[in-house]
C-alpha cells in the first residue's frame, strides 16, 4: 500500500490552517505542523497558533511542543517528523503537513542537503560583524557572494545569513550550489498543494491579521518575552519590532507598521521559494475544499 503525504503550503495568512483541517477530517488523519515558530509554547499570538477549537478538530503534531530556551533546528524536526509519520502511516495511508517554512517542509519531503564543515572562526568573525556593523552588513555580503540565495532567503534572520555566509566563505562557492544535492528515499509519495491569491488580497489579509494580533494582546505577550529577546526563536517578525519599541527606538504605531511591512516581505519570500517547486499544484484561496479533495483523490487513484 502506498502512503501519501498531502503537503499544504503558501504565504502567511492565506488560509492554510483551515484547509489542512478540512483535508485531515476528510481522511480521518493527523496534521504535521511545519511552521518553525509555532513550535514554541511561549509564542502564541505572534505566531498565529491555531485556535483551540481548530486544534481539537483533528490531531496536530509539533505545535508548542518546545520551549524558546531549547535548541531545535530543521535537522531535529526532520527526524521527529519522519518518526511521527511512520506511526501515522501504520494506521492510515495518508497524512497532512502544513506550514509556510519552506526549508522545514523540504527537509521532510526530500531530506536535508549536505553541507561541508566550516571553520568555527568564520562564524565567530561573522558574529563580530553582526555586533559591530549590524544585519545590513551581512545582507550586503550575501548579496555579493550568493545573489541567488539572497533572493529567496529570510534576510531579516541573522542566523540564516551567517549560516549561508560561512559556507560561501569556507568553500569559495555559493551557498545555493549546495542546495538540492541530496535526495533521501521516503516511504511515501507527496501531493503538494499551494494556496495563493492576488498580492493585494494577501497583503490586506496580513494587515488585518496583525491588527487582530495587537487587539488580542500581542504587545503584552512580547513584553513577557522581552527578557529573552536574544534567543534565536524570538528573532521573529511580530516580536523583534515590538522589542525595538520597548527599547525606546520607535513608537507603537511605527512598530505595528513595521510588523505589517516585514510580514508582507516574508510572504513575498515564501511565494518566491514555493514557486520554484514545479510539483506544487496551485489553487486560489477561495477554491472550495471539495475541489481540492477531488484533486487529492485523483492523485491517489492514478
Query: How many domains does the structure of the chain reveal?
Result: 2
The pLDDT of residue 64 is above 80: yes
Query: At 261, which CATH number?
Result: 3.40.50.300
Neighbouring C-alpha atoms within 13 Å toward the C-beta of 262: 18
Residue from 141, 182, 144, 147 nearest 162 by CA: 141
Query: At 157, which CATH number?
Result: 1.10.20.140
- Which domain range does residue 168 map to? 120-178
Q: In the listed set 178, 198, 217, which residue is the last one of a domain according to the structure?
A: 178
Same domain, 258 and 286: yes
3-state SS, 122-169, equals HHHHHHHHHHHHCHHHHHHHHHHHCHHHHHHCCCCCHHHHHHHHHHHH
Cα–Cα distance measured from residue 11 to residue 197, given in angstroms and rounded to the nearest whole number: 9
Cα–Cα distance measured from residue 144 to residue 106, given in angstroms and rounded to the nearest whole number: 26
Cα–Cα distance measured from residue 235 to residue 3, given in angstroms and rounded to the nearest whole number: 36
pLDDT in tens, 124-170: 999 999 989 999 999 999 999 999 999 888 888 888 899 999 999 99
Q: Which range (61-65, 72-76, 79-83, 261-265) has the least confidence? A: 72-76
Task: Look up residue 90 and give its three cell numbers.
Answer: 501504520
Average pLDDT value for the chain: 93
Across 262-289, average pLDDT: 94
The pLDDT of residue 180 is above 80: no
Tracing cell 517528523 back to the chain, one arrives at 81
Q: In the listed set 178, 195, 223, which residue is the last one of a domain according to the structure?
A: 178
Across 97-114, average pLDDT: 89
DSSP codes joined into one string, 245-285: HHTTSS-HHHHHHHHHHHHHHHHHHHHHHHHT-TTPEEEET
Across 174-199, average pLDDT: 88
Q: Give the contacts of 14 (CB within 8 A, at least 6 positions apart).
A: 195, 196, 197, 202, 205, 285
> Sorting pLDDT into bands at 50, 70 and 90, what band is 100?
confident
> Sorting pLDDT into bands at 50, 70 and 90, what band is 184?
low
Q: Which range (18-32, 150-164, 238-252, 257-271) has the least confidence? A: 150-164
Q: Give the contacts of 298 (CB within 8 A, at least 6 positions apart).
A: none
Same domain, 138 and 232: no
Cα–Cα distance measured from residue 190 to residue 301, given in angstroms and rounded to the nearest whole number: 14
Residues 36 and 104: beta-carbon distance below 8 Å: yes
Model pLDDT, residue 112: 79
Across 88-117, average pLDDT: 91
pLDDT in tens, 4-35: 999 999 999 999 999 999 999 999 999 999 99
> Can you tell me whether residue 205 is helix, strand or coil?
helix
Same domain, 39 and 96: yes
Residues 8 and 97: beta-carbon distance below 8 Å: yes
Q: Which range (64-73, 111-120, 228-237) has the least confidence? A: 111-120
Same domain, 186 and 260: yes
Q: In the listed set 129, 153, 178, which residue is the last one of a domain according to the structure?
A: 178
Q: Give the contacts of 186 (CB within 8 A, at least 6 positions apart).
A: 82, 109, 110, 111
Same domain, 27 and 71: yes
Model pLDDT, residue 302: 65
| Predicted TM-score of the model (pTM) | 0.83
At residue 278, what are phi and psi to the nearest 5 degrees?
Answer: -75, -10
> Sorting pLDDT into bands at 50, 70 and 90, what band is 287?
very high
Same domain, 294 and 219: yes
Same domain, 199 and 271: yes
Same domain, 150 and 194: no
Same domain, 294 and 171: no
Same domain, 38 and 139: no
Question: pLDDT exceeding 70 applies to what percent of the chain?
Answer: 98
At residue 5, what are phi and psi to the nearest 5 degrees?
Answer: -110, 115
Same domain, 147 and 24: no
> Sorting pLDDT into bands at 50, 70 and 90, what band is 116?
confident
Cα–Cα distance measured from residue 4 to residue 192, given in angstroms and rounded to the nearest whole number: 10
Torsion of CA 114, 119, 125, 126, to 10 degrees: 0
Same domain, 203 and 99: yes
Model pLDDT, residue 156: 86
Question: pLDDT exceeding 90 applies to what percent of the chain?
Answer: 80
pLDDT in tens, 209-237: 999 999 999 999 999 999 999 898 998 99
Amino acid at each position: 500500500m502506498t502512503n501519501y503525504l498531502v503537503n499544504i503550503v503558501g504565504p502567511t495568512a492565506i488560509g492554510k490552517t483551515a484547509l489542512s483541517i478540512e483535508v485531515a477530517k476528510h481522511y480521518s488523519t493527523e496534521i504535521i505542523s511545519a511552521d518553525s515558530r509555532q513550535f514554541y509554547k511561549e509564542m502564541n499570538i505572534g505566531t498565529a497558533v491555531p485556535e483551540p477549537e481548530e486544534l481539537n478538530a483533528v490531531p496536530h503534531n509539533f505545535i508548542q511542543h518546545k520551549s524558546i530556551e531549547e535548541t531545535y533546528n530543521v535537522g531535529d524536526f526532520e527526524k521527529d517528523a519522519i518518526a511521527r509519520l511512520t506511526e501515522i502511516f501504520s494506521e492510515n495511508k495518508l497524512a497532512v503537513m502544513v506550514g509556510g517554512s519552506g526549508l522545514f517542509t523540504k527537509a521532510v519531503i526530500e531530506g536535508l542537503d549536505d553541507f561541508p564543515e566550516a571553520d568555527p572562526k568564520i562564524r565567530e568573525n561573522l558574529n563580530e560583524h553582526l555586533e559591530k556593523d549590524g544585519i545590513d552588513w551581512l545582507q550586503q555580503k550575501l548579496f555579493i557572494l550568493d545573489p541567488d540565495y539572497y533572493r529567496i532567503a529570510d534576510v531579516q534572520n541573522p542566523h540564516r545569513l551567517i549560516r549561508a555566509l560561512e559556507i560561501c566563505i569556507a568553500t569559495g562557492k555559493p551557498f545555493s550550489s549546495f542546495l538540492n544535492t541530496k535526495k533521501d528515499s521516503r516511504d511515501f509519495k507527496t501531493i503538494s498543494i499551494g494556496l495563493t491569491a492576488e498580492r493585494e488580497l494577501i497583503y490586506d489579509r496580513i494587515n488585518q491579521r496583525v491588527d487582530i494580533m495587537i487587539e488580542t494582546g500581542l504587545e503584552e505577550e512580547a513584553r513577557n518575552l522581552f527578557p529573552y529577546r536574544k534567543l534565536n526563536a524570538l528573532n521573529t517578525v511580530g516580536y523583534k519590532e515590538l522589542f525595538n519599541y520597548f527599547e525606546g527606538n520607535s513608537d507603537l504605531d511605527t512598530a505595528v507598521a513595521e510588523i505589517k511591512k516585514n510580514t508582507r516581505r516574508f510572504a513575498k519570500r515564501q511565494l518566491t521559494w514555493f514557486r520554484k517547486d514545479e510539483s506544487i499544484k496551485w489553487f486560489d484561496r477561495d477554491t472550495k475544499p471539495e475541489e481540492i479533495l477531488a484533486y487529492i483523490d485523483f492523485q491517489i487513484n492514478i
